[in-house]
Amino acid sequence: MAPAPRWLNNDELRAWRALRITMVGLLATLDRELQREHGLGLAEYDVLVILSEQPDDRLRMSELATVLSLSPSGMTRRIDGLVRSGLVAREQCPEDRRVSYAVLTPAGRRLLETAAPTHVRGVREHFIDRLSARQLGNLASVLSAVQIDPKAAAGGCDDAA
């Protein structure tokens, strides 16, 4: 293992720190706005969005967990809350009774539809509308370069592992 790798220069360090604190602030702001206006956290909102995009408003717990980068148990508990609030229901798969679906309820869809404008407005106001089309394009290319390789993300990372 190399004890002193190439250090970060000032610009690099500042870019990295700025990215971190900007994202933290942005997500916290969006979460606060959503919470205040609709009593819904960003995490719960994400679940509703994903479900609403599925053909039958439903997704298996395990797939939902994968999509949201959550552990299986974490997913169970997040759905627990949404079920308590009546926004999501559980349903068993008839073909394979091990799997259970999270299903968007009518109430869930209604709340999603009233909350979405708040979220979109926030994303625009604090993010999208502050950037030119050119900057947005640059950002997309940056992001495509930075995407973490799924192989590396899961298990052993470098050859020293």
Partner DNA sequence: CAAGATTGACCGATCAATCTTT
Partner DNA sequence: AAAGATTGATCGGTCAATCTTG
Query: Does 25 contact DNA by CB under 7 A?
Result: no
Q: Which residues of 67-76 are buried (b: 16+ CB within 10 A; e: fewer)?
A: eeebeeeebe
Query: Of 9 and 97, which CB lies nearer to its own copies in the complex structure?
Result: 9
Q: Which does 77 bind (CB under 5 to 8 A by kind): its own copies, DNA, none?
A: DNA
Give the shortest CB-32-to-DNA separation in angstroms: 9
Lookup: tokens for 95: 């073909």
Q: Which does 43 bind (CB under 5 to 8 A by kind): DNA, its own copies, none?
A: DNA
Q: 127 in helix, strand or coil? A: coil
Q: Which secondary-structure segment (H or E) carries 158?
A: none
Cα separation, 1 vs 79, in Å, equals 43
Instruction: Specify burial of residue 53 (Cβ count, 10 A radius: 0-12, 13-18, 19+).
Output: exposed
Q: Which does 39 bind (CB under 5 to 8 A by kind): DNA, its own copies, none?
A: none
Residues of this chain that bind its own copies (CB under 8 A): 1-8, 11-12, 14-16, 18-29, 32-33, 36, 69, 117, 120-121, 123-128, 130-131, 135-148, 152-153, 157-158, 161
Query: Does 54 contact DNA by CB under 7 A?
Result: no
Query: Of 67 and 136, which CB lies nearer to DNA in the complex structure?
Result: 67
Cα separation, 64 vs 104, in Å, equals 13
Q: 59 in helix, strand or coil? A: strand
Segment 83 to 142, residues that bind DNA, using CB under 7 A: 90, 95-101
Segment 73 to 92, residues that bind DNA, using CB under 7 A: 73-81, 90
**Strand partners for 104:** 88
Binding site for DNA (CB under 7 A): 41, 43, 60-63, 65, 70-81, 90, 95-101
